[in-house]
Structure 1
Amino acid sequence: MKTNQESLELRAHSAVPWVVGSILGGCTGTPLVIKATSSWYREIELPNFTPPDKIFAPVWTALYGTVGYVGWAIHNAVGWKSFALRFYAFHYVLNLLWAPLFFGLQRIRAAQVLNFFLLASLGSVMAAFLSISPLCSILLTPYFAWLSFATVLNGAICRLNPTVKGYNEAMLQAGIQRLRAEAGKRAGL
């Protein structure tokens, strides 16, 4: 028979794949973020409340870790057949689309729309989790707060870099960076 300590250790180990998987999933957009923040993102207007770049990685790592832990806890409580857990997974996939949309495609307005869907879906997930595990719902509160801030930040970037005839300053700056890189390659021939 397992002791309480052994049971706790087993449960903690089974949460590790969820936590690590969530963090690694969150890292899928990192190459796009790094490329953008070293090129076109530096050239667009940003609001004065934009945090330093070095803040984002630790915050998102902690948040994705929490999201993974919460997913594991809810899965242990109700399993995959639960609508709440499936909706949680849907929200997570939506979240992973944001960085490619904003940083990869420079679709800052579309990313803003996605932010509103993310807030609504996260609020729904938190409400659904309340009846399963109030603690899990509460653990998602910092994520909701950060996502709210990110939505305000994205909205301010949209206002400072308006889209006109399908183009915005982010797209223009990304195009200039591509042309500079191409010119550099050709000049080196």
Structure 2
Amino acid sequence: MQMNSGLALAGFVLAALAAASSGVVFRPGAWYLTLRKPGWTPRPWVFPVVWTPLYIAIALSGWLAWRETGLFVLPFAAYGVQLLLNAGWSAVFFGLHRPDLALGEIVLLWLSILATIVGFAPVSAAAAWLLVPYLAWVTVAALLNATVWRLNADTLARV
């Protein structure tokens, strides 16, 4: 059982790294620098400092829930969806330069994180609580996404 548990943990870490890799591929770049942003926009160095422990928590959360019950369908469907949406946001916002579509995508991400928390809670309180900072950060990111879109809607509509 211990070897299976270690392999499962490695699998959850790899899944989180796969989601994180989108942020490495689709970076802010020159386009993002030209956009108007609110004064409360975090400095660029904040993002990796925040995201690194969040991805670790996402992996640990999945692993803890898995240890309790295995891959029970509904909560892990939400878990998989949130990983896919997490990976997709950078591609939509930075890759496609579409803050409008990215806002819709991040709302779905937020909902899928919440669904994962709700699904994990009865099985592992620790797994559920590990995702709460992730939900909080995605809330901030969604507000930033919405504000950037609003501040730049006139320019973005012409592109």
Fold shared by both chains (TM-score > 0.5): yes
The reply on whether 1:168 has 2:159 as its aligned counterpart is: no
Larger radius of gyration between Structure 1 and Structure 2:
1
**Other-structure match for 1:124:** 115
Superposed CA deviations along residues 126-157 of structure 1, whole A, max 9, x for unmatched, are 11111111111111110011000001100110
The reply on whether 1:105 has 2:105 as its aligned counterpart is: no
Instruction: Name the SS of the counterpart of 2:40 in structure 1.
Output: coil
Q: Structure 2 CA distance, aligned partners of 1:130 and 1:156? A: 32
The reply on whether 1:53 has 2:47 as its aligned counterpart is: no
AA matched with 2:51:
W
Task: Note the C-alpha offset of 1:81.
Answer: 3.7
**Other-structure match for 2:61:** 70
Q: Alignment identity in percent? A: 27
User: How much is the aligned-residue C-alpha RMSD, in angstroms?
Assistant: 2.3
AA matched with 1:48:
G
The answer (yes or no) to whether the contact 2:20–2:55 under 8 Å persists in 1 is: yes
Q: Structure 2 CA distance, aligned partners of 1:139 and 1:58? A: 17
**Other-structure match for 1:29:** 23
Superposed CA deviations along residues 146-180 of structure 1, whole A, max 9, x for unmatched, are 00000110011011001x5xx707x84xxxxxxxx
**Other-structure match for 1:85:** 76
- May I ask how many residue pairs the two structures share in their alignment? 159
Scaled by the length of structure 2, the TM-score of the pair is 0.88
2:9 maps to which of 10, 15, 22: 15
Task: Note the C-alpha offset of 1:10.
Answer: 8.2
**Other-structure match for 1:141:** 132
Task: Note the C-alpha offset of 1:29.
Answer: 3.1
AA matched with 1:150:
A
Consecutive unaligned residues in structure 1, runs of 5 or more: 1-6, 173-189
Q: Structure 2 CA distance, aligned partners of 1:128 and 1:142? A: 16
The reply on whether 1:96 has 2:96 as its aligned counterpart is: no
The answer (yes or no) to whether the contact 2:82–2:113 under 8 Å persists in 1 is: yes
AA matched with 2:57:
T
Residues 14, 91 of structure 1: alpha-carbon distance in 2 compared, 3 angstrom cutoff = closer
The answer (yes or no) to whether the contact 1:20–1:65 under 8 Å persists in 2 is: no
Q: Structure 2 CA distance, aligned partners of 1:131 and 1:137? A: 9
Scaled by the length of structure 1, the TM-score of the pair is 0.75
The answer (yes or no) to whether the contact 1:80–1:86 under 8 Å persists in 2 is: no
